[in-house]
Amino acid sequence: MGENKPANKAVLDWVHEVELLTQPENVFWCDGSEAENDYLLGEGCRQGVLLKLNQEKKPGCYLHRSNPNDVARVEQFTLICAPTKEEAGPTNNWAEPATMYGKLHGMLKGAMRGRTMYVVPYIMGPPESPLAKIGFEITDSIYVVLSMRIMTRMGAQASARLGEKPDAEFNRGVHSLLDINPERRFICHFPQDNTIISVGSGYGGNVLLSKKCLALRIASYLAKKQGWLAEHMLILGVESPDGKKHYVAAAFPSACGKTNFAMLIPPPHFAGWKITTVGDDIAWMQIGRDGRLYAVNPENGYFGVVPGTSYKSNANAMRSIERDTLFTNVALTSDGDVWWEGKDGDPPAAAIDWRGRPWTPASKEKAAHPNSRFAVPMRNNPVLDPEVDDPAGVPISALIFGGRRSNTMPLVFQAADWNHGVYVGATMASETTAAATGAVGQVRRDPMAMLPFCGYNIGDYFRHWLKTGPRLTNPPLIFHVNWFRKDAAGKFLWPGFGDNMRVLQWIIDRCAGRGGAGESPIGSVPRPEDLDLAGLEGVSPEMMRALLAVNPDEWARELAGQGIFFESLQPYVPEELLDEHRELAGRLGR
Ligand code: GTP
Ligand code: SPV
Ligand code: MN
């Protein structure tokens, strides 16, 4: 075991270099086999990295507790090391590549002494897809290896696909835990070298280098160069009772509802409607020969937010995580099961919290960390879309942007055309969540939900979007949604989750040339009678009006906020978006 070396000499040479630098006790080449997985799970338990859960209740499930100082992405220590600061742009932290390589190599020197260095080969995307990418992640964390096995198409097939050609393209990822010290934590991207180096963390998006690092930051850079899109979007299929199927892709910021929307279960009134999941976090999209936009999910699993997940809110996620799941930072019950805030039923009388301390319902602190996560193979999803492995991807009828906004943003509106839609995406904002370290609940601009994930200058990213529209002879329509609008007492006005089907149906109707709407300065907004609200509980006509309202005072503030954001990005904002801003101001009478 651990001997499965690839034939490609460029890979062997690079791994050898990293071995000389980090000086591990041994090198373990992963093949992705069942036997290897069993061995690593056993080894993880032996080392105390994993806790085996009650196998009768949760077959194949394990619990990992991360260091309490290491529970989320660290945006302030995430860097784009492009040759110039201008290439990284106004929204990224930048460091000069040679300087950063020097600093990181200093930190990695001897870092794996006495430890095993794992080499993880993986494919992102359906292997036959023209968009598929191959990566290798070197790591000294068993937890990372086991997670990568769930989240990617990991193992010998990746090395085989790379082949022996010396110039075959692959992503080089190096990860070391070091001493899990926030002061020595850096997530560095070298887009021009297709290289990622991550040190000092053992958590999620910081260390599963396939995910945010490769599939978004590096891929967005490649996508710009090669004429496609790498986006922080879920992809779902929606089939109506008459058998017509549409696909939509939706960008919501971290912890703002992508996984839930991707697995939505329609309310009883929508008998015959079926929702299927292609992806829950990332979409790679290219233009098809028919001039439509086609999307693939580069991932193989879901790294989902646990708190709030229940049979009531997301039964498909609950069924998925009944087995083969790696839980991180949830609570442990006395019978070897897991628990979190928002799970169905009563809290356990006693539990061990995410830090490993005794917990009872009387405890002041949460049992599960707000950013606790599950990692589960997508094959466990009962509503996995049958086209998920299609190398060509699925045709996208609508693109949806959305954020967590307690006010201002109506439940849904439609952009007038492509450029207006790009403006809507570019100016979207959301309240911050526990998915990244820092304050929670503050409204910040998060263009296309890509603020932390765009691997190059955001102005060029906007320009790339603007250029993509005219290349699509049959472009998707663009919408904005907000499930999170609140009343004066701070209560959500919209029940969300399954009831989001009502909004999705309107979106699909609009794509099919049906569906009524009222015109407003910000776009087309449905009137209450344009939405199918039959069987909707707890939303009075007055609440419905509040959900759909475009309030002039709120929009005056919103317009100003969007303007301030664009100012902060100058001189990089494309003229087309400044035009859109002026036109919106005009429509709002400002
Ligand atoms: P990342 O994995 O961080 O990218 O998050 P995500 O966008 O996939 O978010 P997810 O679906 O995991 O939801 C995050 C949180 O929002 C969870 O606590 C959900 O329960 C909650 N949530 C999701 N959809 C809705 C909704 O329609 N209404 C309300 N009120 N909450 C929701
Ligand atoms: C996100 O923060 O958007 C996530 C979780 O999907 S992480 O993998 O940690 O980035
Ligand atoms: Mn995400």
Three-class HEC string of 476-522: CEEEEECCCCECCCCCECCCCHHHHHHHHHHHHHHHCCCCCCEEECC
Check residue 402 and give its pLDDT.
Answer: 98
Asked if 203 and 70 count as a contact pair (C-beta separation under 8 A), the reply is yes
Interior/surface letters 454-473, b for 16+ CB within 10 angstroms, e for the rest: bbbbbbbbbbbbbebbeebe
**CA dist., res. 284 & res. 216, Å (int):** 9
**CA dist., res. 201 & res. 221, Å (int):** 24
- Residue nearest ligand 1's atom 4 by CA: 254
- Residue nearest ligand 2's atom 10 by CA: 205
Check residue 58 and give its pLDDT.
Answer: 98
**Strand, helix or coil at 400?**
strand
Asked if omega into 571 is within 30° of 0 (cis), the reply is yes
* Of 203, 234, 260, 277, best ligand 1 pocket probe by most atoms within 8 Å of the beta carbon: 260
- Residue nearest ligand 2's atom 4 by CA: 254
**Strand, helix or coil at 418?**
helix
- Structural element, H or E, at residue 548: helix 541-548
What residues flank ligand 2, with Cβ below 6 Å? 73, 204-205, 211-212, 254, 281, 303, 435
CA of 254 to the centre of ligand 3 (A): 5
Q: Per-residue confidence of the chain (590 residues) as pLDDT tens digits?
A: 999 999 999 999 999 999 999 999 999 999 999 999 999 999 999 999 999 999 999 999 999 999 999 999 999 999 999 999 999 999 999 999 999 999 999 999 999 999 999 999 999 999 999 999 999 999 999 999 999 999 999 999 999 999 999 999 999 999 999 999 999 999 999 999 999 999 999 999 999 999 999 999 999 999 999 999 999 999 999 999 999 999 999 999 999 999 999 999 999 999 999 999 999 999 999 999 999 999 999 999 999 999 999 999 999 999 999 999 999 999 999 999 999 999 999 999 999 999 999 999 999 999 999 999 999 999 999 999 999 999 999 999 999 999 999 999 999 999 999 999 999 999 999 999 999 999 999 999 999 999 999 999 999 999 999 999 999 999 999 999 999 999 999 999 999 999 999 999 999 999 999 999 999 999 999 999 999 999 999 999 999 999 999 999 999 999 999 999 999 999 999 999 999 999 999 999 99
**CA dist., res. 143 & res. 149, Å (int):** 10
Shortest-distance ligand to the CA of residue 282: 3
- Residue nearest ligand 1's atom 22 by CA: 257
Instruction: List residues, by chain if needed, whose CB lies under 5 Å from ion ligand 3.
Output: 254, 281
Q: Which domains does the chain have, with CATH numbers?
A: 9-51+71-226 (3.40.449.10), 231-300+386-587 (3.90.228.20), 301-380 (2.170.8.10)
* Of 281, 373, 404, 451, best ligand 2 pocket probe by most atoms within 8 Å of the beta carbon: 281
Residue that has been written with the tokens 């190059």 in this structure: 456
CA of 259 to the centre of ligand 1 (A): 7
Check residue 31 and give its pLDDT.
Answer: 97
**φ/ψ bin of 345: left (φ > 0), alpha (ψ from -120 to 50), beta (otherwise):** left
Give catalytic residue positions.
256
Check residue 154 and give its pLDDT.
Answer: 98
Q: How many CA atoms lie within 13 A of 393 on its CB side?
A: 31
Residue that has been written with the tokens 């439509």 in this structure: 292
What residues flank ligand 1, with Cβ below 6 Å? 252, 254-260, 280-281, 304-305, 307-308, 313, 435, 483-484, 492, 496-497, 500
